[in-house]
Amino acid sequence: MIYLDNSATTKPFPEVLDSFVAVATNYFGNPSSLHELGRKAERLLSQSREQVAALLSVKPNEIIFTSGGTEANNLAIKGVALQYRKRGNHIITTAIEHPSVAEPCRQLEELGFEVTYLPVNAYGRVEVETLERSLRDDTILVSVMHVNNEVGSIQPIEQIGEMLQRYPKVIFHVDHVQGVAKVPLDIKKARVDLCTMSAHKFHSLRGAGILYVRNGIRLSPLLAGGGQEWQVRSGTENVAAIVAMAKALRLSMEAYEQQIRQLHVLKERWFEALSHIDGMELHTPIKHSAPHIINFSLDGLKSEVFVHELAKQQIFVSTTSACSSKKRAPSKTLLAMGVEGKRAESSIRISLSWENTIEEIPVVVRAMKEAIQKLQDVKR
């Protein structure tokens, strides 16, 4: 098997699975319980919070554990909108956000909020000047992803944060799900107020996520209940998944230090190999793009058919994001970048991890060429 769908989900590290099993087996108490088993679980929760905060260079009380990236994005966007609606009802985001940002914005529009969806250039990047021109007196939130999940373009987060310093009433949220441990982001230096991360994107398990909330920012809770997570996110914490997530974050950051150059080399080799496939058009920009995402299209071929053909050979790639792949619509990211509709319907995403190797490239490219030939023969 050759797995090239790491932006959808990563394979958990073995050590992370061991931690999950050990905590779920031996420390299964409710962390809110007063007895010894509960206190032990609560201590593990606190230690995980401190570990995550230290890795992100923020304070432990600025970390809220969630069920994943979707919940964290919803909490950030709706939480700010409902908490600060007396200050204003205007939100700014981009045309290429993940559905877990775009859909909450759509829902808020139904509640009377106004949302500006910023365009991107041909490289999938937002212009800071365009964003600043869109600010209004009633703007309360700017939400911009760090790394695009489909093409890997990196947004100018630090420049946006610096610009927003002149607008202190505007809260800045960053969806950092695809950037964690692949593209560094100094949350404090970039003046980010809210930042979303998801465990299963950095070799942990699904069911856990992180929302960084800068001290001083208040959120209207989405879930009412026992008041866990600083009264912001009620619900019994998934201690085993959180402990595993903290460990995975540490291991992923260590892997970054040791292997990031190799990942860049791998991406360059992929670019070179793909350029020899007839009809291929590369959509991931060479500059300002993440080291692990490569997006391209194949002239005249339906991407979902191509993905299934490769899967028959145990090679796993994807079309758009996993959360959008079943909608069978052209990639909205590629359309926003100015890619023609037919091309946007035939896009393929390769997403790498630390475990992928250069030796896999010729194997996959050969399988791709065979699949293209087979599908073209069927069309004739």
Q: How buried is 308 (Cβ within 10 angstroms: 0-12 exposed, 13-18 middle, 19+ buried)?
A: exposed
Which 8-state DSSP code applies to residue 349? E
Catalytic-labelled residue, pool 323, 335, 365, 367:
323
- 191 sits in the region (left: phi over 0; alpha: psi -120 to 50; else beta) called left
Q: Which two tokens stand for residue 2?
A: 């050759």
Q: What is the 3-state secondary structure (H, E, C) of 279-300?
A: CEEECCCCCCECCCEEEEEECC
Name the residue among 18, 8, 12 with its Cα closest to residue 203.
Answer: 12
> Per residue in 59-80, is it b (16+ CB within 10 Å) or e — as a string?
eeebbbbbbbbbbbbbbbbbbb
Would residue 195 show up in a list of annotated catalytic residues for this protein? no
Q: How many residues does the chain have?
A: 380
d(C-alpha 317, C-alpha 94), whole Å: 26
Residues assigned a catalytic role: 323
